[in-house]
């Protein structure tokens, strides 16, 4: 019974959309590695499409979106995988077209003040977040706090708008390595859901998906609270420094000594009072240091 069901299921079509400037595409980043990993599937469940994009160094929407739509032949059962500029192409595409799922690696929603990005045409109008959500069964995002090209705040903003399953991976930069095992593993998991052979299996898979999404929402709430607390501490430190500067209380060991020495000719009571004030000021000027930890579901 199970074998017959498996035979009736079509191969999952996956289209990989690379980043700007990635040509030849199979020589860049993790794209060819991911294609090969999925093609190794023992059940032959995947049909992977990876092609050089037109206009690769500008990645204009007017060239990329029609190419994906008309040449790569996606449909409502397709999974789209985008990296960097490929994410924006996919988001514009899914504003108008339905797909099964979307995986976004290092996505952004603004041109970041870059002229080349501005010329790519993706950012000249608001994003239709509601339409993107409505046209996709599920959305997964990967970003890294160490990304120097697209700040992690961009990815978090997109995740919040799309209500995606969002994962931050440490020390991955802009995801330009030759391998991306987390992405491959996630696709295998999604493909496995296509081969469930009972209502109970489907129910268990859906429950697991809802649990993951709930965990992601909790993680984002924790991150926002951490950001709020850090902001409050920073403001407190700033106000305290301003107060100390107004009082002209020294903040270093050398200046404290000079300050106390200058008071030595005063009366003993005045000197004692000044010393107490200086000691209190020195303690108060110790700068609070806060380490901001990035919350998120991390894969290792």
The encoded tokens of residue 89 equal 């192409």
Q: CA-based diameter of the chain, in Å?
A: 100
d(CA 60, CA 66): 10
Neighbours of 245 (CB within 10 A): 11
The total number of structural domains that make up the chain:
2
What does the chain come to in residues? 300
Q: In sequence order, what DSSP letters do the residues of 150-179 get, joined into one string? A: S-HHHHHHHHHHHT-EEEE-TT-TTS-SS-
Evaluated on CA atoms 111, 113, 116, 121, the torsion sign reads positive
pLDDT at 294 over 50: no
Higher pLDDT, 116 or 270: 116
Residues 19, 164 within the same domain: yes
297: left (phi over 0), alpha (psi -120 to 50) or beta: beta
Residue 36 has pLDDT above 70, yes or no: yes
Q: What is the C-alpha to C-alpha distance for residues 178 and 28, in angstroms, rounded to an integer?
A: 8
Residue 146 has which token pair? Answer: 């160490």
Please report whether residue 164 resides in a domain: yes
Query: 191 and 206: one domain?
Result: no
Say if 300 falls within a structural domain. no
Q: Provide the residue range defining the domain that includes 276.
A: 198-255+267-284
How far apart, in Å, do the first and last CA atoms of the chain sit?
37
Specify the 3-state DSSP secondary structure of 185: helix
Pairing of the two strands 79-83 and 99-105: parallel
173 shares a domain with 54: yes
174 catalytically annotated: yes
**What's the whole-number mean pLDDT along residues 50-61?**
94
- The verdict on 112 and 165 lying in the same domain is yes
CA angle 149, 125, 157 (to 5 degrees): 45
Structure tokens at 62: 């007017």
Range name among 66-70, 218-222, 269-273 with the lowest pLDDT average: 269-273
Q: Which of 58, 109, 174, 183 is catalytic?
A: 174
Tell me the CA distances in angstroms from 206 to 101, 140, 201, one per residue in order. Answer: 15, 15, 9
Q: Is the dihedral of CA 107, 109, 113, 116 positive or negative?
A: positive
Based on the domain organization, do 21 and 157 belong to the same domain?
A: yes
More confident residue, 287 or 69: 69
Specify which of 88-102, 175-189, 211-225 reaches the highest per-range mean pLDDT: 88-102
The residue annotated as part of the active site, out of 85, 120, 144, 147, is 147
Q: Which of 58, 84, 144, 164 is catalytic?
A: 84
Residue 247 lies in a domain: yes
129-166: pLDDT as tens digits? 999 999 999 999 999 999 999 999 999 999 999 999 99
């Amino acid at each position: 019974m199970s074998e017959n069901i498996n035979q009736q299921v079509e191969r999952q079509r996956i289209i990989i959309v690379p980043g700007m400037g990635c040509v030849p595409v199979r020589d860049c980043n993790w794209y060819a590695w991911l294609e090969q990993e999925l093609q190794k599937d023992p059940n032959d469940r995947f049909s992977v499409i990876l092609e050089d994009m037109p206009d690769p160094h500008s990645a204009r929407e007017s060239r990329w979106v029609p190419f994906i739509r008309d040449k790569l032949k996606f449909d409502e059962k397709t999974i789209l995988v985008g990296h960097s500029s490929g994410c924006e192409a996919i988001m514009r595409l899914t504003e108008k077209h339905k797909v099964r799922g979307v995986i976004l690696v290092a996505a952004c929603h603004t041109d970041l003040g870059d002229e080349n990005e501005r010329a790519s045409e993706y950012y000249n109008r608001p994003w239709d977040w509601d339409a993107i959500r409505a046209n996709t069964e599920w959305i997964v995002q990967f970003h890294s706090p160490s990304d120097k090209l697209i700040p992690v705040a961009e990815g978090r903003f997109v995740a919040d708008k799309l209500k995606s399953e969002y994962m931050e991976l440490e020390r991955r930069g802009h995801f330009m390595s030759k391998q991306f095992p987390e992405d491959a593993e996630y696709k295998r998991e999604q493909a496995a859901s296509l081969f469930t052979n009972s209502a109970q299996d489907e129910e268990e898979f859906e429950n697991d998906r809802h649990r993951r999404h709930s965990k992601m929402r909790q993680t984002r709430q924790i991150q926002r609270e951490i950001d709020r607390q850090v902001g409050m501490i920073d403001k407190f430190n700033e106000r305290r420094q301003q107060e100390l500067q107004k009082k002209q209380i020294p903040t270093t060991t050398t200046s404290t000594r000079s300050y106390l020495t200058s008071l030595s000719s005063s009366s003993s009571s005045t000197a004692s009072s000044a010393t107490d004030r200086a000691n209190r000021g020195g303690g108060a000027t110790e700068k609070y240091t806060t380490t901001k930890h990035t919350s998120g579901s991390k894969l290792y």
